[in-house]
Amino acid sequence: MFAEENGLHGDPRIKAISDAIRVVPHFPKQGIMFQDITTLLLDQKAFRYTIDIFVDRYRDKNISVVAGVEARGFIFGPPIALAIGAKFVPLRKPRKLPGEVISEAYVLEYGTDCLEMHVGAVQAGESVLIVDDLVATGGTLSAAIRLLERVGAEVVECACVIGLPLVKGNWRLNGVPLYVLVEPRLDDKDNHEECGL
């Protein structure tokens, strides 16, 4: 669900966050309007609003794990984890995590990729929040959800700064609710093209 439709209607912070995101056309390839959050990180107020909105939503939900998807999930996840007293668990590309890992593959437009998590980082029964900067096809987040469910954790929600429902009106991914602050900005507002990853 969009934050604005879920308790934050008219909240000026949402516009500040959206305005702080830069759109870079045709990156990484032609046709993709890349949603660049680095400009949000340069705007201390807007970055703080982003974290505050997530923290306000999750602080009383007994979440014991925040899992962040490499690499931009590493920027938003830890401040949320610190504020709500949860562990932070990085979900990484292959062969970055030392020691024992479990892996989950997912499909890309061409080929596959893989997400890994440390064995033992998350225990059965823990409540987990997954964080990434943006949800596009949902492939990466679905792999993240599968990783956590394989160890018996319960994924409470996936939180992203930017995104669209995968199918209009359907805000669930593998049954897990998606919470998004802003929709992608496009140069041509009538033409909903594929968002940047």
Partner 1 sequence: MNMNTLKTFNSNVIFPKPHILFSHTANFINPLKLPSLTPSTPTCQKLQPISASTPPPTTTRHCSSHMAAPTSDDRIARITSAIRVIPDFPKPGILFQDITTLLLDPVAFKDTIDLFVERYKDKNISVVAGVEARGFIFGPPIALAIGAKFVPMRKPNKLPGPVISEEYSLEYGTDKIEMHVGAVEAGDRALVIDDLIATGGTLCAAISLLERVGAQVVECACVIELPELKGRDRLGDKPLFVLIS
Q: How far is the CB of 128 from partner 1 (least distance, A)?
A: 12
Joined together, the tokens standing for residue 165 give 């429902």
CB neighbours (10 Å) of residue 62?
A: 12
How far is it, in rounded angstroms, from Cα 185 to Cα 163?
Answer: 10
Size of the site for partner 1 (CB under 8 A): 61
Pick the catalytic residue: 13, 57, 72, 126? 72
- Enumerate residues 62-101 that contact partner 1 by CB under 8 A: 62, 64, 70-72, 74-76, 78-79, 81-82, 84-90, 92, 95-101
Locus of tokens 């990729």: 113
Exposure pattern of 124-156 as b/e (b: 16+ CB <10 Å)?
A: eebbbbbbbbbbbebbbbbbbbbbbbebebebb
Q: Which residues bind partner 1 (CB under 8 A)?
A: 22, 24, 27-28, 34, 36, 38, 41-44, 47-48, 51, 59, 62, 64, 70-72, 74-76, 78-79, 81-82, 84-90, 92, 95-107, 112, 114, 118-121, 123-126, 146, 150, 196
Question: Which residues are identified as catalytic?
Answer: 72, 109
